[in-house]
Amino acid sequence: MSARPPAKSAAPVASSKVKTLTIDDRLVSAREDESILDAARQNGIQIPTLCNLDGLTPVGACRLCVVEVKGSNKLFASCVTMVAEGMDVVTDSERLQRYRKTIVELLFSERNHVCAVCVSNGHCELQNLAQALGVTHLTVPYRHPKLPVDASHERFVNDHNRCVLCQRCVRVCGEVEGAHTWDINGRGIGARVITDLNQPWGSSETCTGCGKCVQVCPTGALTEKGKSVREMAKQSRFLPYLTMMREDRHE
Amino acid sequence: MTPEPAKGAPTPKDNRWRLVEATMRRHGHKSHALIEALHSAQEAYGFLEDEVLRMVATELRIPLSKVYGVATFYNFFTLKPQGRHTCVVCTGTACYIKGADQIMNVLEKAFDLKSGMTSPDGEVSVLTARCIGSCGLAPAAVLDGEVAAKLTPAQIVAKVERWMAHDQH
Amino acid sequence: MISIEDLSQISQAEKEAKDAVPNQINVCVAASCLSLQSDKVMEELEKAVEAKGKKDCCKVRGVGCMGLCAAGPLVALEKERILYQGVKPEDAPEIVDALGAGPVARIQGDLEAPFFARQQKIVLENCGRIDPERIEEYVAVDGYLALIDTLTAMTPIGVVQQVTRSGLRGRGGAGYPTGLKWATVSKAQGTRKYVVCNGDEGDPGAFMDRAVLESDPHRILEGMALAGYAVGAQQGFVYVRAEYPLAIKRLKLAIRQAEKLGVLGSNIGGTTFSFSVDIRLGAGAFVCGEETALIASVEGGRGTPRPRPPYPAESGLWGYPTLINNVETLANIPAILRNGPEWFAKIGTPKSRGTKVFALAGAIANTGLIEVPMGMPLREIIFEIGGGAPDGKAFKAVQTGGPSGGCIPESGLDQPCDYESLAKLGSIMGSGGMIVMDETSSMVDVAKFFMEFCMDESCGKCVPCRVGTAQMHELLRQISSGEATSRELALLENLCDVVKATSLCGLGQSAPNPVLSTLHYFRHEYEAKIAAGEAAAAGHAAAHASPAGGAA
């Protein structure tokens, strides 16, 4: 990301062309550098997302925003698929609903999400997704991994039991704060978010304590200390604001 | 674990570090030299300890967490010291069909060693590899850097016993 | 400045030197024979030649892979067309004594056997015939001729057209038309372009890339240089597994030799074309076979794939257009340009041209590497060339395409072995691994084995692959150990569908394939396990007293 020389993404957007496409039988238009997700949202069509967050580079990791594009057997993550002329997109179908439900189930089964005792209960994006998609119970077995809670930071807590590996903390810290305190350790089902050399957060040499990671975390994984059940509401609106202000400054 | 006398905390002046330095210099200290630098570091120090990762991060100007993330992503890198002898059991498909699991089972049964573990006396580390490309010789293992072909459970037990008894053969 | 004349001079000198010695003893020193101590065999042969005063009439050379790994160490007398197999160091004096007097029958192999006679070699044509550590030997078999000739006689577009007309398709897995890929990169706008040779060979059970890199490394360098010329790249990277130290060593040596000879470097052959090659070591991650993950790894990062488009052909290494081809694909290139695309297109089937290298392993008599024309029936490959399952066991299935492929039963063996037919059988060509299973293999366990592989190798970026493979592995464990009911089987089938459809990259999208193909052809084996599980569950529910209940 920050290490590579700017590629095409740095191209000016002023001259970009407008494309016309169909989303859920509605004719919509969008700039060619906009994603299907952008276009849908601008037209009031809601597609479920989890890893996506306005102001951060989309990564297409959670796969909840997959949509069907007529004429192709494959599914497309709408957050990273750019619009194209004449594209015919279906954002909701029995099949997509089933896939999304299973993905949410997989997330619940992966770690230990116990809403009843969670500080983010009522303010959790994973919980909201489960409600919206009608996930009332799990068909897949719980994995019950034994995971630590890192409370070494003076103001924040990292509870791996509630992490969904959306990488929002990694991205906001690297792309916006510029500290790159967070990254991912290991791989596959064993992947974990880490600070610095996988050391306690409180001992991190690079963390500025800005708390952006806490505010963008969709669940109760990264929270402020001293909150009790249901008290941790996140505030991520600073992000589009920061991005906008910085763009203005560059102009 | 009885560490070799030459080992110890790495310092910028130590000879092993020069090897890592040379690799980074060859790549102009660019951030994309990270994996090459980690290969050199592991060759020089035997494993990737935190202090070495920190020095590589500083030299290549890469965030600490990113260096750690890369070091733990790849199977080839190890962050723990290894035993004096290593036994890498191939668990590729051909070896699986020919009974690699029996080799692993007997190692666990006889020595209580599973993949990724080092014997308490620091003599033997057991690792697994996802196919070493010697499928014609399955089941195979790499014993101290040499491929052992068509291995039987009895052979591997005998070998590890000799290692543990400080017999070099 | 290297020219065609220079090459033919080297070639001439090399041939004369070879002809001056009546007897040539070739010893395979590729990894497989080497691990059976072929280096000691070579040493003893050299000693024997010296001791018997035959130094002037006999030369012992280390050569690359001869293919029949199961019978190693292999020794060949080239002119006499004699093959010795299972050679021990103590056999050396006898071999040397018998020179010119007929073969040593005790260790003689049969070169007329189908294993050798049915093969047609392009990619492996020099393997086992030349010393991989000497560039002169590669030049003597017309090596680098195609490169120097092409640079002076053909335009880059002309090269792309030749490759397109040959009908060559990518040998790394998906079978994408190579000419089309080259054309895309050649047309892509970029101040810089790169060629990457994918030698990560993560497929367990495939070892052809290793054999080519160890036995004929210059072939890859020539293929890369030709690719660089065609697409307009000046820098190439070979991405090799760190687990292949011998391949890395020989590749490094080959690069140095090629630079010295002037077939790599600045202004090759006096033209304006410059091309250099560097090695990047993989570090053990199957997912790095995926193009975007490979790029992330060459850039020094975690090998996690990113969504495509943009494709590497437009935006690859550091954002520049990048051509990524597999080792075997590039190994075909010099031969195509030397012999012409029509020659290549005549081999194989209309949709799958040329030959394919297969790695035969598992429960098969002749384990090793073979190269056959595309379209040869699987039965011929497995039974005639491979010798079928050993020890009188019955053949059960052949697994092709590694963890992304599927298991093909006896009933599918009469199908031709090409991209389309294998796909129709529910498998893929993949990189060409063929693992044979006999009647003793449980197909549920085989599916579990591959799922464990995918679970361990998942990068963890996307949810369906990260958690889905772990869940499928757990379900397969339950089924395999007789703890599952039809509910778990239904759950497994649903997860196969979800993971296949929603995963970010090819690893996740194809991870369910071994389960799906075994469910398709061997469903009865799953059902037998389920029946055991349900009986146990019923028994458990009826009475807790039964000591025999539970896991089998």
A100-235 topology per CATH:
Alpha-Beta Plaits (3.30.70)
Query: Would you put residue A6 in left (φ > 0), alpha (ψ -120 to 50) or beta?
Result: beta
Strands of C276-282's sheet, edge to edge?
Answer: C276-282, C235-241, C194-199, C322-326
Distance from CA of B1 to the nearest CA of C (A): 26
Same domain, residue pair C221 and C325: yes
Would you list which residues of chain B are within 8 Å, Cβ to Cβ, of chain C?
Answer: 31-36, 38-39, 66, 69-70, 73-77, 91-94, 96-98, 129-138, 140, 146-149
Please classify residue C543 by burial: count the beta carbons closer than 10 Å to its beta carbon, then call 0-12 exposed, 13-18 middle and 19+ buried. Answer: exposed
Distance CA C281, CA C139 (A): 27
Q: How many CB pairs under 8 A join A and C?
A: 108
Mean pLDDT, chain C, rounded, equals: 93
C177-236: per-residue pLDDT in tens? 999 999 999 999 999 999 999 998 888 888 899 999 999 999 999 999 999 999 999 999
Per-residue model confidence (pLDDT) at position C546: 46
The one-letter code for the residue type at C246 is L
**Percentage of the residues of chain C whose pLDDT score is greater than 90:** 84
3-state secondary structure A142-163: CCCCCCCEECCCCCEEEEHHHC
Per the domain annotation, does C124 fall within a domain?
no
Q: Could you give phi then psi for residue B109, rounded to 5 degrees? A: -65, -45
For B54, the closest chain A residue by CA position comes to: A197
In this structure, is residue C502 part of a structural domain? yes
pLDDT at B21 over 70: yes
Nearest to C498 by CA among A139, A243, B21: A139
C-chain CB neighbours of B131 within 8 Å are: 202-207
Name every chain B residue with its beta carbon within 8 A of the beta carbon of C456: 130
Give pLDDT tens digits along chain A (251 positions).
Answer: 334 444 444 444 455 689 999 999 999 999 999 999 999 999 999 999 999 999 999 999 999 999 999 999 999 999 999 999 999 999 999 999 999 999 999 999 999 999 999 999 999 999 999 999 999 999 999 999 999 999 999 999 999 999 999 999 999 999 999 999 999 999 999 999 999 999 999 999 999 999 999 999 999 999 999 888 888 888 888 888 888 887 776 65
CATH of the domain at C71: 3.40.30.10
pLDDT at C544 (0 to 100): 58
Beta carbons of C264 and C228 less than 8 angstroms apart: no
Q: Which residue of A has its CA nearest to B61?
A: A3
Number of continuous H segments (helices) and E segments (strands) in chain A: 6, 10
Q: Looking at chain A, which residue has its C-alpha nearest residue B50?
A: A197
Task: Read off the tokens for C325.
Answer: 């081809």
Distance from chain centroid for Cα B133: 17
Asked if the Cβ–Cβ distance from A198 to B63 is below 8 Å, we say no
CB contact under 8 A, C361 and B97: yes
Q: Determine the pLDDT at residue A238.
A: 86
- Measured between CB atoms, which of A8, A80, A191 is closest to C307? A80
The CATH number of whichever domain residue C522 belongs to comes to 1.20.1440.230
Q: Which carries the bigger pLDDT value, residue A11 or residue B169?
A: B169
Residue C462: count of CB within 10 angstroms of its CB: 29
How far apart are the C-alpha atoms of B57 and C533, rounded to whole Å? 53
- CATH hierarchy code of domain A19-92: 3.10.20.740
Whole-angstrom distance, CA of residue C369 vs CA of residue C347: 19
Same domain, C295 and C183: yes
What are the backbone dihedrals phi and psi of residue B126, each rounded to the nearest 5 degrees, phi first? Answer: -110, 130
Taking alpha carbons only, the member of C493, C460, C463, C459 closest to residue C475 is C493
Average pLDDT over residues B153-169: 86
Q: How many other C-beta atoms are found inside a 10 Å radius of the C-beta of residue C373?
A: 21
- Residues C236, C173 share a domain: yes
| Inter-chain CB proximity A77 and C458 less than 8 Å | no
Alpha-carbon distance of A195 to B34, in angstroms, equals 19
Helix %, strand %, coil % for chain A, to 5? 30, 15, 55
Contacts of C343 (CB under 8 A, 6+ apart): C336
Residue B6: what pLDDT?
Answer: 43
Residues of chain C with Cβ-Cβ distance to A2 below 8 Å are none
Residue C324, phi then psi, degrees to nearest 5: -115, 120
CB contact, 8 Å: A75 with chain C?
Answer: yes
Q: Within C167-216, where are the H helices?
A: 178-187, 208-215
Picking from C202, C296, C34, the residue whose alpha carbon sits closest to that of residue B76 is C202
Name the 3-class secondary structure at B19.
Answer: helix
B-chain CB neighbours of A206 within 8 Å are 63-65
- A64-91 pLDDT, tens per residue? 999 999 999 999 999 999 999 999 999 9
Is there a domain that residue C185 lies in? yes
Residue C283, φ and ψ in degrees, nearest 5 = -135, 25
How far C11 CA lies from chain B's nearest CA (Å)?
33
For residue B92, CA distances in Å to B133, B150, C164 come to 8, 14, 35
Structure ipTM: 0.92
Contact C302 A187 (CB under 8 A): yes
Domain B85-164: top CATH class = alpha beta
Using pLDDT thresholds of 50, 70 and 90, give the confidence band for residue C527.
very high
Q: Which residue does chain A place closest to B32, by CA atoms? A: A3
What is the three-class DSSP state of A96? helix
Identify all chain C residues contacting A186, using CB atoms and an 8 Å cutoff: 460
Q: How far apart are CA C23 and CA C7, in angstroms?
A: 25
Q: In what order do the strands lie in the sheet with A18-23?
A: A26-31, A18-23, A88-90, A66-69, A75-77
Give the count of alpha carbons within 13 A of C254, CB side only.
29
The answer to whether residues C43 and C76 belong to one domain is: yes
Which residues 203-242 in chain A show a CB within 8 A of chain C?
none
Q: Which two tokens stand for residue A243?
A: 């991005």
Last residue of a domain, one of C407, C441, C475: C441
- Same domain flag for C366 and C283: no
The chain C residue lying nearest A8, using CA atoms, is C319
Would residue C4 count as lying in a domain? no
Amino acid at A12: P
**What type of residue is C210?**
R
Q: Say yes or no: A73 contacts chain C, CB-CB below 8 A.
A: no
The DSSP output letter for B136 is G
C454 lies in which domain range?
Answer: 444-541
Please say which residue of C380, C407, C441 terminates a domain. C441
**Alpha-carbon dihedral sign for residues A240, A245, A250, A251:** positive
- One domain, residues C188 and C295: yes
Q: Which residues of A touch C461 (CB under 8 A)?
A: 59, 61
For residue A225, count other CB atoms closer than 10 A to its CB. Answer: 12
